[in-house]
Amino acid sequence: MVDTARTIDYLLDSVFQDGQVDNSINAQDLRDLIVSLRSSFGGCGMTENAVETVIASAGTPAVVLGTTTETSSSDDVTVGNNRITYTGINPKRFVITSHVSVLGASNNILIGIQIAHNGTPIGYPTKRKIATGADEGAISVVADITLNQNDYVELFAFNKTSAANIIVEDGILFMAGLVL
């Protein structure tokens, strides 16, 4: 029989319920439990990206533009271009991290990055100043959130000073699910 991920409610109410008959849990039930509790993870990265992230107005986050490649993923996570989607059936808590190097399209700007959930920035942004457009600086950000089936995370960037565009040249976006 195929190992099947089950919802926690199903496992507790139907398979491992109180007052069940002795020896009613079989090897397949245990295999399904293991599959259901397996760790979830996924990541994507970019190298030497030259595509500018278009900033509509000062302080307004925009999805980071450029081509990313998958670094890794579990069976219940899909990785697309700058997007990581959780496809598991149980809601799961994730820690999302990103570390990037950024360039500004102008001088003396305050650049930031932020994790987004289903297209909406969440958590706390991280910022740094770019003195000249040729300066390259590193920024890291971390967020944690519970994801449901088909929820996704992305990386957003913003220019706090002006509407000058930003280049996220190199970096990684990664999420790891917690088994609670």
Task: Please give the residue that has the higher pLDDT: either 102 or 26.
Answer: 102
Amino acid 180: pLDDT: 66
For the beta carbon of residue 39, count every other beta carbon within 10 angstroms: 11
pLDDT at 112: 95
Q: Is the dihedral of CA 126, 129, 134, 137 positive or negative?
A: negative
Q: What's the average model confidence in pLDDT over 157-161?
A: 95
C-beta neighbour count of 104 within 10 angstroms: 25
Among residues 55, 36, 38, the alpha carbon closest in space to that of 168 is found at: 55
Tell me what the mean pLDDT of segment 35-49 comes to: 92
- Indicate the CATH number for domain 41-178: 2.60.120.40
Helix (H) or strand (E) holding 32: helix 27-37
The full set of domain ranges for the chain reads 8-37, 41-178
pTM of the model: 0.88
Which string of b and e fits 15-34 if b means at least 16 CB within 10 Å?
A: beeeeeeeeeeeeeeeebbe
Give mean pLDDT, residues 87-110.
91
State the Cα–Cα distance between residues 57 and 163, nearest whole angstrom: 5
Cβ–Cβ < 8 Å for 69, 80: no
Mean pLDDT of 23-44: 86
Residue 90 has which token pair?
Answer: 């149980």
What is the tens place of the pLDDT at every residue in 141-150? Answer: 999 999 999 9
